[in-house]
Chain A
Amino acid sequence: MAQAAAVAKPPPKQQPPKRRKSVTPRKLPYLLIAPAALLMLGFIAYPVISVFYYSLQHFNPTKPWRNGFAGFENFTKIFTDDPLFWDTLLFSAKWVVVEVGLQLLFGLALALIVNQTFVGRGLGRALVFSPWAVSGVLTSVIWVLLYNSQTGITRYLADWGIGSYGTSWLSDTATVFPAAIVADLWRGVPFFAILILADLQSVSKDLYEAAEVDGASRIRQFFHITLPHLKDAIVLSTLLRAVWEFNNVDLLYTLTGGGPAGETTTLPLYVANTSVDAHNFGYASALTTVAFVILLFFSFLYLRLSKFGGDQK
């Protein structure tokens, strides 16, 4: 993921400018990016602008008599008169922080382990990374089977006299959060492990040899060589993952449906319900705008605080 770090940097030196200009018609690069730019204008930029537009409107096809310009009414309602907004925002924050934190921790540990040389490494890597390819819906299917009181692990444990039959962990407000977290960890850890492992490939072995000669312990080597090297990759992948986890609807929608009792409704899930079930497009657009601003603000803050790309050699 560190390649995005290259964004702000000048192109590599192997490109002699004089040669390029003589061969390149000026319009060529614009022609080349045109397909991508057009697609993104039409299907990202335009929808974003229309969301901003609708956020200032009352727009609900089921209540056409109210449709029209709303000014900031939707926003006022969000901040002053919508406890659900605050509840779901808080849950989203909790979900993202816990999920990304644990994924990073386990992903880093896993990457360090499978980066070692040992018998069966190829197979081991393939197996531990495999949940990466599994979809949110399929993850839900699997964990619904595992958590269900009839088909799940608890039933067999109870058969052997461990624990009680009880109910599904997904329908109990006390257990639903950790249950959902574990299900998403199962799929999310390999993402971090793959990216970190990729970045580990470029740590210079000379550094470790030098540290070895100086008598540094393996723990010291980790904190003074490995971790600084991984910093940019970690910053970028946690950020992408946080945004992704924030926006991710598939898993919770199918695993818990936001329940029980709204206990696991994230902000995007709330927006989806508002627009799809309640058809309140104007209000949903205002919620989307708020979510978007929050995301941008925190991403910016995060990149600033972590001094991303700042101290590269």
Chain B
Amino acid sequence: MITEIAPADTKVKIVEPPRTPRGRGLRRRAWDEAPRWQIYLPLGIYLLFTLIPFYWILLFAVRPAGSTSLVPWPMTGEHFAKVWTERSFGTYFMNSVWTGVATLIMTTVVALIGGYALARFDFKGKRGFMLALLCSQFVPGALLLVPLFQIFAELQMINSLVSVVIAETVFQLPLSMILISGFIKNVPYSLEEAAWVDGCSRLRAFLTVVLPLLRPGLIAVGSFAFVHAWNHFLFALMFLSVQEKQTIPVGLNTLLSADSVDMGALAAGGIIAAVPVVIVFAFIQKWLITGFSSGAVKG
């Protein structure tokens, strides 16, 4: 399926691993000569480094308070129940979902529209606009907290999740737009023209011909936006001061900075924070690499 997405684009094909571990003939020989242990040994060591921290937090989340066992058995759900209700992680969770999804939609739509203009038109001020997009990458969001706070206070948006959605979207936009315009450039213009000849309007040609081909790229960009919004901490901390509006990272920070940290509750809260992004990640992992490599316009 991925092979069809970028026509005449051989590099995408390589992402699909051949079913035989040794590859086929000369095509893969150069890189295939690595002895197996040279792959599995460093990979195994790195996997330990990656997975032990995950195991650790899982362990504390499911074993009973006071236990010092290194095996997560017997299991208990007490920490989850406590965090979800007593520590309002249920509310935080819904707020985070709302923020994440709204940011995903807003970023993708605005970046798609703008990216199309950048990919398909030459217009006065385009270079200036592109330069502004790049420069905005150097603007430290954390350092704009105060003026942003003032703007949102002016707009009566403090303690509204909308403020966080706007702030996250704005800082996601430049890179998303650059990426998406790269994806669109990879779709041959002749495909669109053929649709016009068949009587499609520009919009219809875009929706029916270009959009389906952008799927891997849009998945990559959209999931980036979601994960960022889900994870980002500082905007939510600053703009949302009432508890029922706060998001999961802020809730975690509250647990973390308490005088005596309840490690079980903290770990359970961490698992709740991790589950959605890990699921999203598992689904998009493959598209992420295809998306980025087909978005890279070379030479």
Report which A residues bind B (CB closer than 8 A). 1-9, 11-12, 14-16, 19-20, 23-24, 26, 28-30, 32-33, 35-37, 39-40, 42-44, 46-48, 50-51, 54, 106, 109-110, 113-119, 121-122, 124-138, 140-146, 148, 150-151, 153, 156, 186, 194-195, 197-199, 201-202, 205, 208-209, 211-212, 218, 221, 233, 240, 243, 246-250, 253-254, 257, 268, 271-272, 275-276, 281, 284-285, 288, 291-292, 295-296, 299, 312-313
Contacts and interface: CB of A to CB of B under 8 A. Distances in A.
Q: Which has the most chain B C-beta neighbours within 10 Å: A202, A248, A296?
A: A202
Interface stretch (B49-57, B72-80, B207-215): B49-57
Contact of B249 (A47, A137, A247, A272): A137
A218 B33 contact: yes
A250 B234 contact: yes
29 contacts: A1-B292, A3-B182, A3-B295, A30-B123, A36-B177, A40-B170, A47-B148, A50-B147, A51-B143, A116-B39, A117-B23, A130-B281, A133-B274, A135-B230, A136-B231, A138-B249, A144-B266, A146-B53, A186-B53, A209-B30, A233-B296, A249-B234, A250-B232, A254-B233, A272-B143, A272-B145, A288-B140, A292-B140, A295-B138
B68 to A, nearest CB: 8
B105 interface: no
Interface string B20-37: 011100111111111010
A233 B274 CA distance: 29
B256 A275 contact: no
Nearest to A155: B68
B296 A202 contact: yes
A292 B56 contact: no
Given A118-B39, A140-B256, A201 B189 contact: no
B-side interface size class: 35 or more
A48 B299 contact: no
Contacts of B5: none
Nearest to A59: B146
Contacts of B232: 135, 250
Contacts of A143: 53
Contacts of A23: 196, 202
A4 B60 contact: no
B299 A195 contact: no
Contacts of B46: 106, 110, 113, 128
A129 B188 CA distance: 32
Q: Chain A's interface: helix, strand, loop or mixed, by majority?
A: helix
Contacts of A115: 31
Contacts of A198: 288-293, 296
Given A36-B113, A138-B274, 8 more contacts: A29-B126, A131-B50, A133-B227, A137-B231, A199-B296, A240-B137, A250-B233, A292-B139
B293 A199 contact: yes
Contact of B56 (A26, A146, A221): A146
Contact of A36 (B173, B285, B291): B173
A44 B21 contact: no
B15 A201 contact: yes
Contacts of B181: 3
Q: Which has the most chain B C-beta neighbours within 10 Å: A124, A150, A246?
A: A124
Contacts of A156: 70
B120 interface: yes
Contact of A141 (B50, B141, B252, B298): B252
Given A11-B119, A121-B17, A146-B53, A138 B140 contact: no
Nearest to B31: A116
A194 B292 contact: yes
Contacts of A233: 296
Contact of A291 (B117, B135, B143, B270): B143
B170 A205 contact: no
A183 to B, nearest CB: 9
B138 A4 contact: no
B162 interface: no
A110 to B, nearest CB: 6
A122 B52 CA distance: 20
Contacts of A131: 50, 53
Nearest to B291: A198
Given A129-B285, A202-B293, A296-B138, A144 B256 contact: yes
Given A1-B296, A135-B232, A243 B285 contact: no
Contact of B252 (A39, A138, A249, A276): A138
A74 to B, nearest CB: 14
B110 interface: yes
Nearest to A246: B140
4 pairs of A and B residues whose beta carbons are closest in the complex = A135-B231, A3-B182, A208-B30, A198-B292
Given A7-B130, A151-B263, A130 B50 contact: yes
